[in-house]
């Protein structure tokens, strides 16, 4: 008997449900509407399923962040798992002076920057097939051109200084407010805006050099 509920949207009109669920799934559902603070407290009190809800709530943001830094699906998935495990270990020391999301982003940015320092992931090329799906109204030639341009932009972003790169990713892709970025990076709003400005200026310069 399958021990978990899987709901797969294979096609928009299909809904495949394999029945069967664990008590942990039921517990996780009971935490579904809990606030972040309650989830943190429940996790520390021994309810691991509360942390499952935290993962469900923030995995897209953290994966998106990791993908923007590392540029491959595999690396981003690995690092997302790593970020949540680090967060789980550090949860008793989370003082809730910032929001849980900000704290997770902070762990994520540090993990991404450390990973980049430890490897030369920023120089890795990304398979074109992974970058964009070709839309029906777009010709293959246009799609190729767009992918080439996207690769140039990604390569230019990878050459930015770390803090500028982090600021650009958090602002342009994660669309976080400057105040939250300042809390994540441990700087002021003014410094975040200045970093963003220099990141954009350098990005334009690098693109124009090509």
Contact between 106 and other proteins by CB under 8 A: the answer reads: no
Q: Say if CB 20 and CB 5 are below 8 A apart.
A: yes
Contact between 67 and other proteins by CB under 8 A: the answer reads: yes
Contact between 142 and other proteins by CB under 8 A: the answer reads: no
**Among 77, 102, 110, 187, contact with other proteins (rule: CB under 8 A):** 77
**In whole angstroms, how far apart are CA 168 and each of 39, 96, 160, 172?**
30, 26, 9, 6
Minimum distance, C-beta of residue 59 to other proteins, in the bound complex (Å): 6
Which residues, other chains included, contact 132 with Cβ-Cβ below 8 Å and sequence gap of 6+?
143, 146, 147, 150
Among positions 144-163, residues that touch other proteins (CB under 8 A) are 149-150, 153-154, 157
- Segment interacting with other proteins, rule: CB under 8 A, options 106-114, 116-124, 134-142, 198-206: 198-206
Place of tokens 């809800």: 53
**Among 36, 50, 63, 105, contact with other proteins (rule: CB under 8 A):** 63
**Among 51, 69, 103, 105, contact with other proteins (rule: CB under 8 A):** 51
**In whole angstroms, how far apart are CA 6 and each of 3, 17, 21, 59?**
9, 6, 9, 18
- Segment interacting with other proteins, rule: CB under 8 A, options 30-38, 79-87, 100-108, 114-122: 79-87
Contact between 103 and other proteins by CB under 8 A: the answer reads: no
Structure tokens at 54: 């935290």
List contacts with other proteins (CB under 8 A).
6, 8-9, 43-44, 46, 48, 51-52, 55-56, 59-60, 63-64, 67-68, 73, 77, 80-81, 84-85, 88-89, 91-93, 130-133, 149-150, 153-154, 157, 168, 172-173, 190, 193-194, 196-201, 203-204, 207
């Amino acid at each position: 008997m399958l021990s978990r509920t899987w709901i797969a949207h294979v096609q928009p009109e299909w809904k495949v449900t394999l029945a069967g669920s664990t008590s942990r799934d039921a517990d996780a559902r009971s935490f579904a509407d809990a606030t972040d603070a309650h989830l943190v407290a429940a996790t520390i009190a021994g309810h691991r399923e509360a942390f499952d809800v935290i993962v469900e709530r923030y995995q897209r943001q953290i994966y998106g962040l990791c993908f923007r830094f590392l540029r491959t699906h595999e690396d981003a998935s690995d690092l997302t798992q790593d970020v949540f495990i680090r967060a789980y270990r550090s949860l008793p020391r989370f003082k809730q002076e910032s929001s849980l999301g900000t704290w997770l982003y902070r762990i994520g940015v540090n993990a991404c920057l450390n990973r980049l320092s430890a490897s030369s992931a920023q120089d890795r090329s990304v398979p074109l097939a992974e970058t964009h799906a070709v839309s029906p109204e777009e010709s293959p030639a246009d799609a190729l051109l767009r992918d080439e341009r996207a690769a140039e932009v990604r390569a230019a972003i990878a050459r930015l200084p770390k803090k500028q790169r982090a600021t650009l990713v958090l602002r342009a892709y994660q669309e976080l407010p400057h105040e939250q970025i300042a809390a994540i990076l441990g700087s002021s709003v003014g410094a975040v805006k200045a970093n963003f400005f220099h990141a954009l200026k350098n990005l334009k310069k690098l693109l124009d050099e090509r």
